[in-house]
Amino acid sequence: MSRYRVVLAVLVAVTFLAGLVTAVTPTTPSTPAASAATSRADAVRALLDRRARAVLDRDESAFTADLDPRADSGFRQRQRDLFRNLAAVPLAEGEYLAEWGSGAVVDL
């Protein structure tokens, strides 16, 4: 067997083995799925808390502070309209009920 064929065979074998090692190496997510879901729920809860406080305080800028400034202008206007409609209701307190994708209803 020529030297070229031996080198080629070794390179093919090394490449094959490297592919196997990569394919079977287990990967562990940086955060478990339950933890990520909890983080999302906490973020939603915090957002809704800020918005509820803004409605009770009649503070439109606080209500719209979490909106992406690059969001569609129509969406931003609908959010301002939503705030104005909610602020017109004489509320002393409020409550959110959220239905998550699992079907669970959570009192926020």
C-alpha distances (whole Å) from 27 to each of 30, 34, 37, 54 are 9, 17, 19, 43
In a domain, 25, yes or no: no
In a domain, 3, yes or no: no
In a domain, 24, yes or no: no
In a domain, 26, yes or no: no
In a domain, 48, yes or no: yes
- Other beta carbons within 10 angstroms of residue 54's beta carbon come to 20
pLDDT at 12: 53
Please report which residue ranges of 25-72 form alpha helices under DSSP H.
33-57, 60-64
In a domain, 45, yes or no: yes
pLDDT at 64: 95
pLDDT at 38: 74
In a domain, 28, yes or no: no
Based on the structure, what is the number of domains in the chain?
1
Render pLDDT for 37-92 as a digit per residue (tens, 0 to 9). Answer: 778 888 888 988 899 899 999 999 999 999 999 999 999 999 999 999 999 988 77
Top-confidence range, 15-19, 31-35, 74-78:
74-78
Task: Give residue 88's domain range.
Answer: 34-108
Cβ contact 48:96 at 8 Å: yes
